[in-house]
Structure 1
Amino acid sequence: IPMQEPPTRMLGSLNATLSATLLLRLPANHTGPGCLHVSIPDGLFLVLGLVSLVENVLVVAAIIKNRNLHLPMYCFICCLALSDLLVSCSIVLETTIILLLEAGTLVTTATIVQQLDNVIDVLICSSMVSSLCFLGAIAVDRYISIFYTLRYHSIVTLSRSQRAIAAIWVASVLSSTLFITYYKHTAVLLCLIAFFLAMLVLMAVLYVHMLARACQHAQGIAQLHKRQHPIPQGFCLKGAATLTILLGIFFLCWGPFFLHLTLVVLCPQHPVCSCVFQNFNLFLVLIICNSIVDPLIYAFRSPEIRTTLREVLLCC
């Protein structure tokens, strides 16, 4: 990052192929005519990052504290919280460094800043990849618990889940290092896009199948008790609403970022695509919001975790 130029935001190297958006933190007057540009203050990055940091630290602390939560399902939730924690810490760290550089408080050479930027990019990218992987792992774990209930504890053992977690972390770090190193290759962006689509399809198929099975089960219970259809229909509507919220939040928070990568591949020089590139910081805010929402969906809904959290807060 040349010291005379504005510092880049996360994964700025992904835009290095774009002459119009070489630097992601462009001033407002660099926005093309007719483009809708949403300005994101650095303070918002810090506030959202700190909120996510506190939430996910509480989740990790609760799971570590309570031995009853040392189960494969909660291990995946804990790792998801760690991934979201790394996303928040990385973005907060980068934003802080950017503010210090702009204020002139932090004085260093361009080489050191470039190396630091690469390290933070790898950290953020690996935490994002691992976060998506653990979202998929949680969906698979819940699917097995519903469709293979009697064999669940023999299929999803603690040792197997630990090996899966270790493999996810190693794969995330290695793949992210390769992504950042070879960012100029189109194949790298295509792999990232394909990975996101695969996780989206996996979660959608598994959760829809689980909802269908739950509706069939509710229908069977209603018929067994000679009741009418409103009870299972209401249950199915509630389940469908929950599923829509879950997948909708996932797509809303992650979709714009991967849309950005798709446009980098398809139309890097097109004026319309350049308008989308101007809002890259907004896409990052949505990813941070996902790390805030994840504990609410996957962790805080558990009574055991809520009880442990109260104990942790009282001890503090």
Structure 2
Amino acid sequence: NVLVVAAIAKNRNLHSPMYYFICCLAMSDLLVSVSNVLETAVMLLLEAGVLATRAAVVQQLDNVIDVLICSSMVSSLCFLGAIAVDRYISIFYALQYHSVVTLPRAWRIIAAIWVASILTSVLSITYYNHTVVLLCLVGFFIAMLALMAVLYVHMLARACQHARGISLL
């Protein structure tokens, strides 16, 4: 993931909306890993008695780490969806692609995904004991999965249609 982010940041040929979405996906996945390592390290230090602190501080730290993990997972799903939509537009609206998927629009989408992911995570961690929170997260996961499945199946159908057309030539 670090190499993906570095390659996209360094190579000017990769400075396009699609690659920015891929870069953000890599950053989200990297954040999941870092958050899990951080949580494991804190738990090990607490168990070993190296990190002695009050229960309230430990709970707050746990909530912050949980927000990081949750927001990075939500943003990963959103960026996977954004990549699917980007590819769909590039295939089905190839001639209009550059007027529809512009850099300013991509930056607004990226910012919206990060903000929505953080807000969703804060609300989810704050109200974790409410059933509606779990239902919303599961519903979001299913909706994103369905969106990606529908888009990619439609793209596959178009590719098969083109392959049949080419084979007839």
Is the TM value for this pair above 0.5?
A: yes
Question: Which one of 93, 96, 99 corresponds to residue 154 of structure 1?
Answer: 99
Match of 2:119 in 1: 174
Structure 2 residue runs without a partner (length 5+): none
Match of 1:141 in 2: 86
Matched, 1:115 2:51: no
C-alpha RMSD over aligned residues: 0.6
Q: Distance in 1 between matches of 2:130 and 2:56?
A: 23
Match of 1:83 in 2: 28
Match of 2:157 in 1: 212
Aligned residue identity for 2:26: A
Question: Which one of 186, 205, 216 corresponds to residue 131 of structure 2?
Answer: 186
* TM-score under structure 2 length normalisation: 0.98
Structure 1 residue runs without a partner (length 5+): 1-55, 225-316
Q: Distance in 1 between matches of 2:73 and 2:147?
A: 17
How far did residue 185 of structure 1 move? 1.0
Q: Distance in 2 between matches of 1:111 and 1:183?
A: 17
Superimposed CA distance per residue, residues 55-111 of structure 1 (whole angstroms, 9 cap, x where no aligned partner): x11110110000110100000000000100110000000001111111111111111
Between Structure 1 and Structure 2, the one with more helix by share is: 2
Higher Rg: 1
Match of 1:131 in 2: 76
Q: Give % identity.
A: 80
Structure possessing the higher relative contact order (Cα contacts under 8 Å, 6 or more residues apart): 1
Match of 1:299 in 2: none
Match of 1:64 in 2: 9
Q: Which runs of 4+ in 1 moved over 2 A?
A: none
Match of 1:268 in 2: none
Aligned residue identity for 2:62: D
Aligned residue identity for 2:110: I
Q: Distance in 2 between matches of 1:101 and 1:111?
A: 13
* TM-score under structure 1 length normalisation: 0.53
Q: Distance in 2 between matches of 1:71 and 1:95?
A: 36
